[in-house]
Amino acid sequence: MANNRPNSIFKRRKMIVIAVITACFGFALGATEWAQADSPTAPALSISTNTAPQQALVALPDFTPIIDRYGPAVVNISSTTNKVIHQQNNPFPPNSPFYQFFHHFMPPGQNGPGPQQHEKIQSLGSGFIISPDGYIVTAGHVVRGANHIVVTLTNHHAYPAKLIGLSVRYDTALLKIDAKNLPTAPLGNSDDLKVGQWLLAVGAPFGFYNTVTQGVVSAMNRPLPDDEYIPFIQSDVPINPGNSGGPLFNMKGQVVGINDQIYTNSGGYMGLSFSIPINTVMRVVQDFKNHKAIQFGYLGVEVQDVTPQMAQALRLKEPVGALIASVMPGSPAAKAGIRPGDVIVTYNNNPVYNVGQLPPMVGNTVPGTRVKVGILHRGTAETKEVLVTALPKNMAEQTSSQVPTSPAKVGKVSRMGIHVQSLTPIIEKRLDVHHGVVVVGVGEGAAAEAGIMPGMIIQQIDQRDVNSPAELERIVAGLPANQPIPLLVRQGKASVYVVVTLPKK
């Protein structure tokens, strides 16, 4: 057995050597065959080719017809704005801890702002021609405050432009250049857009003129916090600074929106683009061309979202609609019998799923129109007919959250952990309120957990009006424990519903 082991190893090595020799021999034979194939007497190698046109395996949209036909209607817009800068003689701003230190060393008369300097700020945007005689639509922020506007066509002809009209609420502007027989872009119907449809954007991102990008509709009627009157088209079309004001085309080559803004953390495109629907744009543009003042529909309510907890407190089946926190006295809503605590679920036969959908619907309603408003009043469905009026021009916003106090009877609501006092004539006049109690002290308990703070006015609890501390204490005493209860509070001139959960007695 001891002699067999070395022999077996040797045999394996021998087999390996033979295998290597065989492989080398085979390679040599293969090389000989290739050499023969390359020789003049060898037959030529035949390669099969098919020159017939092949059909695409995947059908993708071809955007070239849109660009060839309507691309010349897209323009580049450059604007110049003069900005006044006040030079500070003191090198530090007034809120700096070093400001006062240098203030004492400045010569008399040089402690205030220094001389003015004018700085020119240039910006780039896009737009599109809507009529052969030179009317051009763009985004309002592209030309807002501009002293000089220049429009450049795709043939590189440049024209000074006149601003015909600009709406900040709709972020839309209408320009006019002195030219004729210009190419135009046809307008579509943005109400016909569906999620998933292809879109095409043309503009000048970062100054790169006539750039084309594509994507699909991601969502419709998307509300944004700073533009409550615009039901945005959300898409994944790549747009960047400089695209603003450019057209958004559908596959028919029709303009269905103007590119307006993006959601970004970096300043560049991150997959969320927002465009103003062309139907909204043209409503403003027609008023500009007719030299009419732009009017917005007015309902006269303050609304908030219906959270799942609030829906439970209001005894609703699902958290949908816009919860009315307050109704302006004498407003269209007040005249129609709409009250705080009602939930708007339809407007003019269109569903209202969340609070962001309602302002664009109301704002785009022509004043003088009668609309049907579907509400839930204490969970019961009702329909109110409202005569929508124009938004008052003198509506002022109240930013103060402080309520003036004066001697009044103070009551304690132990179950909520608060001290309240009745309204005084000063409070009623200052805040234009006519019922409720003022919170003057908050301890540990249900009110503190709900976010109630001193200075707030409690107007309702469980959708029942509160007129005195004694009435609030009486209502609270009869409410169930460990269940969400709607509580209407007012801070400054803004009303909002919160949810409070009361402990056991």
Amino acid at 124: L
Amino acid at 402: Q
User: What dihedral angle (degrees, nearest 10) is formed by the CA atoms of 281, 283, 289, 293?
Assistant: -110
**The dihedral of CA 462, 463, 468, 470: what is its sign?**
negative
Catalytic one of 79, 141, 260, 419: 141
* Radius of gyration in angstroms for the set of CA atoms belonging to the chain, rounded to a whole number: 36
Catalytic one of 79, 244, 422, 495: 244
Residue 229 contacts residue 298 (beta carbons within 8 Å): no
User: How long a stretch of residues is the chain?
Assistant: 505
| Residue located via tokens 């309520």 | 403
Q: How far apart are CA 241 and CA 250, in angstroms?
A: 22
Catalytic one of 78, 126, 171, 275: 171
Q: How far apart are CA 503 and CA 452, in angstroms?
A: 16
Q: How far apart are CA 124 and CA 397, in angstroms?
A: 33
Q: Is 45 exposed, middle or buried (0-12, 13-18, 19+ CB in 10 A)?
A: exposed
Count Cβ atoms below 10 Å from residue 401 Cβ, excluding itself: 12
- Does the active-site annotation cover 141? yes
Q: How far apart are CA 186 and CA 70, in angstroms?
A: 8
**The dihedral of CA 298, 301, 306, 307: what is its sign?**
positive
Show which residues are catalytic: 141, 171, 244
